[in-house]
């Protein structure tokens, strides 16, 4: 799961119908101080991700105390949450100019996971209002700070067994000695064909910093 948490003084959401006007079947949702959360789900997300993410959000100390320090949680201030489903959080823009959303979860699974997530937040004693899954929405908010935090269970949750797609593992740079030694050994191994009875030296292994 991937979420964008914004600390707000107020936020709201409306649903827009095919005519581009407010959908009368959806009651406009508003909150006061609290979080406006954009929520993205993959097909691999389930109860474990929901439980970890819920605990993390309910205990984030990003609201100011009497000394003006970020030391209070949304539970401490009696805040509210506006939760908006947002599959575009998994946009892949590495190729071309049209984003790919192939990593986003299938709608049936994503909808159920989002609903369970909202219920888990409510179980922590925080009022949660929602948009409408899969709908064209207009979201308004006043970001207080601004404070915006991105949480990705695939990266941030302890025990995750795989890195997020596109996350690059940084390699330690090669030293001049490592680079020159590898090149010298490679050139020596390739210089001349082996003669009869001559021991063939194996090709040197490329150091990790050059992979």
List 30, 48, 88, 171, catalytic entry: 88
67 is catalytic: no
35, 141 contact by CB (below 8 A): no
DSSP 104: S
Structure tokens at 148: 């915006």
Q: How does 22-53 read in b/e, with b if 16+ C-beta sit within 10 Å?
A: ebeebeebebebbbbbbbbbbeebeeebbebb
107-122 helix and 47-59 helix, angle to the nearest 10 degrees? 40
Q: What are the beta bridge partners of residue 150?
A: 4
88 is catalytic: yes
List 87, 90, 113, 117, catalytic entry: 87
List 86, 90, 113, 117, catalytic entry: 86
171 is catalytic: no
Angstrom distances, CA of residue 187 to CA of 172, 191, 196, 197, 204: 24, 6, 20, 21, 10
Catalytic residues, by residue number, are: 86-88
């Amino acid at each position: 799961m991937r979420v964008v948490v914004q600390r707000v003084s107020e936020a709201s959401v409306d649903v827009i119908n095919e005519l581009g006007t407010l959908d009368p079947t959806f009651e406009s949702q508003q909150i006061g101080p609290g979080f406006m959360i954009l929520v993205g789900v993959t097909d691999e997300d389930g109860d474990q991700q929901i439980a970890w993410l819920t605990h993390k959000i309910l205990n984030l100390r990003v609201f100011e105390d009497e000394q003006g320090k970020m030391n209070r949680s949304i539970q401490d201030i009696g805040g509210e949450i506006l939760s908006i489903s947002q599959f575009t959080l998994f946009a892949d823009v590495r190729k071309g100019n049209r984003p790919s959303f192939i990593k986003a979860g299938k709608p049936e699974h994503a909808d159920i996971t989002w609903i369970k997530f909202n219920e888990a937040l409510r179980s922590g004693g925080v009022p949660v209002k929602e948009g409408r899954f899969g709908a064209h929405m207009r979201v308004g908010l006043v970001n207080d700070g601004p404070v915006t935090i991105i949480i990705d269970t695939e990266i941030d949750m302890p025990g995750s067994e795989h890195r997020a797609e596109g996350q690059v593992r940084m390699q330690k740079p090669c030293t001049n000695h490592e680079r020159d030694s590898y090149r010298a050994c490679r050139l020596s191994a390739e210089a001349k064909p082996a003669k009869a009875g001559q021991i063939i030296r194996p090709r040197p292994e490329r150091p990790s910093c050059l992979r």
